[in-house]
A and B are shown apart, each in its own frame.
Chain A
Amino acid sequence: MTEDYFLIPDFGLDWLDAGGPEADIVLSTRVRLARNLQGHRYVCRASAGDREIVFRTVARAVNRGALPPDTALMRMNELGRRTQQILLERRLVSSELIGEAAPDSGVGVAVSSGNAVSVMINEEDHLRLQCLMSGLRLMEGWNRVDKLDEELGGLLQLAYHHEFGFLTSCPTNVGTGLRASALLHLPGLVLTKEIERALRGITQVGLTTRGLYGEGSEFVGNFFQISNQTTLGQGEEDLLDHLNRVVATVITKEREARQVLTRDAGAITEDKIWRAYGLLRYARALDYVELMNLLSGVRLGVSLKLLPSPPVYWLNRIMIFSQAAHLAEAAGRTLSTEERRAHRAQYVRQALRGESGSTTTDPGV
């Protein structure tokens, strides 16, 4: 058991490797289960002492082998603010877990990147089990997180009701406690102005769309997260099947839209893509949203084979490593907004130059 995120194999970035199916459109799949311990107040009503008891109870289960031996168990308030934000930017913890200004005591996360699973402790529910993987792999994600659930459930007394299923703090999660989502890059549907219709359709079949950073976040860089909305009344496999079918349809529509773009507006599309690439290659200051929109163009270009490089894996890394806390970590200090824009542009220039010259240059920390 390690207590330092630098010791997590691949620093919890496995899901960026673009090795999963449909990875040129589906950045990642996430499957999470909400669980609570029987006989303990939920986090919204818990005192610091209650949270501590839950944390220790879960930590004991983790140490007794509920998670693989490569697991890093971290208490959020023992990490520096920047490290907390790095974990957030890597999507290993939620913003709720690290708190607006500081995390609460007794709050933590156990990460096992070997099989891409992690457990947030004392977030909205006592336990949030999740599996985060590259590409579209809903069933595989479910199998992994289910296995983890079996291990933890065999050691901990979970809150369960024969009629309502797994009990959660928010009634929108009760039953299976399952929220599965796929993060899709849909520039084709946006550029052909079909996206609104697609999003409406997704809502009509009982699913939800959100931005890159989940609930309440805006649509940035043409990324859309599609997830199930209901959790009670259907089995996990049925919920996942339905989501999988809808996501597959959206992917087909996106590929059709890309064909339309290259057929009817080939020259304009190619020009836009190369302009995006050129800006990223030479800009001296970049906002994150601007970067995400330019990266979207480059990602489209790579997928359409209009750009020979960089590989999708590289684009995924740029997306993560050009966020505020990652840039500050690389600089070794806090950056002002202006400095951050300059550092971001410099990092992107180096990453793209490094990639085109040699594949061994790592744009990492």
Chain B
Amino acid sequence: MSEPAKVCDGQGCDNPAVVQLTQVVDNKSTTQYLCKECARAKGISAQPPSSLDVSDFLAQLGESGSSESESVTEPCSFCAMTFDDFRESGRLGCSHCYTSFEPRVRRLLSRIHGAGQHAGKVYLPPDPSSAELDRRIAGLRRSLQHAIEAEDFERAAVLRDLIRDHEAGQR
């Protein structure tokens, strides 16, 4: 037996409710049940928030970012995703999309994260080039410095070993 379906709380509306809207104002919580149409009239989307966040964000971004002449971007050459597909779904289709839509992605990332440059762990691929190894060692040194400052000596020891291993591999 399932719970009885709720009817929309919108004025004069008998549609089944699909949205539960809980608002907290001055520590008082009120709950309304709304159908899709009444929810939309209140500016609420019945989409789950996970997909709402990014695609809404993207829609706004498209409008404000149109000052530069970036008319129609070519679809991604690897996965054939278009920027409109991305705008709708909020998901990129492959790693190549990052370069296919680079100027827009760059602007988007700086809006989302307030930054554009990765400052975390440096990836070391299975067969690294010497440049990749250098970048990796520099990244590990940054983490080591952090571990020492945080007095996390266990981690510092692990990082020192890693640096030593990589340096030995370079010779």
Contact = CB atoms under 8 A, between A and B. Distances in A.
Interface of A: 36, 38-42, 44-45, 124, 139, 143, 146, 149, 153-172, 174-176, 178, 193, 196, 215-216, 218, 230-239, 241, 336-338
B92 interface: yes
B3 A235 contact: no
A153 B27 CA distance: 48
A172 B90 CA distance: 9
Contacts of B142: 235
Contacts of A176: 118, 120-121
18 contacts: A40-B94, A42-B93, A146-B121, A164-B109, A167-B92, A170-B54, A170-B92, A171-B108, A175-B118, A176-B118, A196-B27, A216-B48, A232-B109, A232-B113, A233-B115, A233-B117, A235-B119, A235-B146
B113 A237 contact: no
Interface in B104-118: 105, 108-109, 112-118
Interface stretch (B11-19, B65-73, B147-155): B147-155
Given A41-B79, A44-B89, 7 more contacts: A139-B152, A171-B108, A171-B109, A215-B48, A215-B50, A232-B109, A241-B150
Contact of B120 (A167, A235, A338): A235
B24 interface: yes
B81 interface: yes
Contacts of B116: 163-164, 232-233
B49 A215 contact: yes
Nearest to B53: A172
Nearest to B27: A193
A163 B120 CA distance: 11
B130 interface: no
Contacts of B95: 36, 38-39, 42, 159, 161, 167
B29 to A, nearest CB: 10
B64 interface: no
Contacts of B77: none
B124 interface: yes
A58 to B, nearest CB: 14
B30 interface: no
Given A139-B152, A234-B115, A41 B123 contact: no
Contacts of B98: 161, 164, 167
Given A233-B117, A234-B115, A236-B121, A155 B126 contact: yes
B125 interface: yes
B124 to A, nearest CB: 7
B5 interface: no
Contact of B155 (A139, A153, A158): A139
B155 A236 contact: no
Contacts of B160: none
Interface in B36-62: 48-50, 53-54
B154 to A, nearest CB: 8
Contacts of B114: 230, 233
Contacts of A169: 91-93
B24 A45 contact: no
B125 A158 contact: yes
A45 B155 CA distance: 38
Given A156-B126, A196-B27, A164 B118 contact: yes
